[in-house]
Amino acid sequence: MTLPYSFPPAAAWRLPRTWRLPLLLIALATLLAGCGKDAPKPGTATPEVTVLTLQNQSLALEQELPGRTIASQESDVRPQVDGVLVKRLFEQGQLVKAGQPLFQIEPALYQAALNEAQANLKTAEAAAVTARLRAQRMQALGKDQLAARQDVDDAIASAQQAAAAVQAAQAARDTASTRLGFATVTAPIAGRIGRALFTPGALVTSAQADPLARIQQVDPMNVDITQSSNEYLALRRAIAEGGVQANSAPVRLRLSDGTDYPLPGTLEFADIDVQQDTGSITLRAQFPNPEGQLLPGMYVRAQVGQGTQQQALLVPQSAVDRSAKGEAQAWLVDKEGKARLRTFRTARAVGNQWLVLDGISAGEQVVVAGAQGLADGMPVRVKPAPVAAPAGKD
């Protein structure tokens, strides 16, 4: 290397001592500058990033909400007459049909009351026949003026009273027959019956507080689902504005052990009031349950269809970071091929992607790989990402 500066001959060192040090520093600085010009510069290769071009798409929105299973019908089996239980006529925990006999109450007293009522009815019917015939004869005599008008009227009234007595006796017989029928306690609805709460030998009454047993209809099974009133109102607003199209997608269930219930259900209705303590509303769905897999009181997670968003924009979650304030951030590549850090808002997670609320538009390129070491405004080389799979449901 040729030095850009030549030191003076030895005679120069005979200069005053105060000049020697400045001359030495100037020579050293010139030497270093010359070396720097000849040194090679470090590599400045443009980084390569993989980008995904965002496109609007139709997205079926779903939300996973908590719920509880409830029997579609439930009824207590209660006695309607007093007496001693003499027999249980069903197997506990089995399915029963409506009207099937379940318990037998001692019927002797009610059978005797029915026999008495039937005898009274026959007596009343016989007396009515006699009174009717007498009234007919008195009317015939009255026409020939062979009987006083008062006697005729009395005979007719007696016949009518006898007929009314027959009707009263018939009602008493029907009542006695009904009470005898109540001695056999039957199932009010079809469904699965639980354990018997009273055993043979127990005295039961029509006014007792405890039921004899309980029947629950579990096919179909109802599921009460809880949803925030704010989310419900936001969905109604989005449907009204046209951003979301309402649909009647089936409801799906995930059981408490993490398995999926195989049969879909239908959304029946939404409750008309908001629970004051939780600020939520109740949605009711109904599911077929032919195998009895769903039991009343089970905790489940329901996948409820929320409509279809026609212009949905999704960003992969792997491309999104969070700022110190919790805001969503992603690297984008602008039209000049430079990296730009963009802050935007997300609405919800959809599978492994975020549904964009605002801040990013369709057609922009988001960096999905190679974002390490990027700086805002840095030129980059773009590599398209593979075609993404269809968006999953929310």
Would strands 184-186 and 101-105 be described as parallel, antiparallel, or unpaired? Answer: antiparallel
Domain boundary, last residue among 308, 330, 345: 308
| Domain at 289, CATH number | 2.40.30.170
133 is written with which tokens?
């015939």
Q: Which of 317, 377, 372, 370 is nearest to 341 (CA)?
A: 377
38 is written with which tokens?
């000849």
Residues 162 and 178 in one domain: yes
Residues 84 and 206 in one domain: yes
pLDDT at 304: 81
Q: How many residues does the chain have?
A: 394
What residue numbers bound the domain in which 233 lies?
Answer: 62-70+218-308
Residues 194 and 230 in one domain: no
Residues 304 and 323 in one domain: no
Residue 393 maps to a domain? no
Residue 201 maps to a domain? yes
Domain count, the chain: 5
Residues 298 and 231 in one domain: yes
Q: pLDDT by residue (tens digit) across 22-41?
A: 556 666 655 555 544 444 34
The CA-CA-CA angle for residues 344, 347, 350, to 5°, reads 110
Residue 43 maps to a domain? no
Residues 235 and 302 in one domain: yes
Residues 129 and 154 in one domain: yes
Residues 100 and 115 in one domain: no
Give the integer Cα–Cα distance in Å for 257 and 4. Answer: 82
Q: pLDDT by residue (tens digit) across 256-283?
A: 888 999 999 888 877 777 777 777 888 8
Residue 85 maps to a domain? yes
Amino acid at 245: Q
Average pLDDT over residues 354-383: 90
Average pLDDT over residues 325-346: 92
pLDDT value at 217 more than 80: yes
| Domain at 204, CATH number | 2.40.50.100
Residues 90 and 199 in one domain: yes
Residues 252 and 373 in one domain: no
Residues 143 and 118 in one domain: yes
Q: Which of 95, 346, 332, 80 is nearest to 206 (CA)?
A: 80
Q: pLDDT by residue (tens digit) across 134-165?
A: 999 988 888 888 888 898 889 999 999 999 99
Residue 157 maps to a domain? yes
- Please report, for residues 39, 55, 195, the alpha-carbon distance to residue 106 in angstroms, rounded to integers and kept in the order given: 115, 77, 21
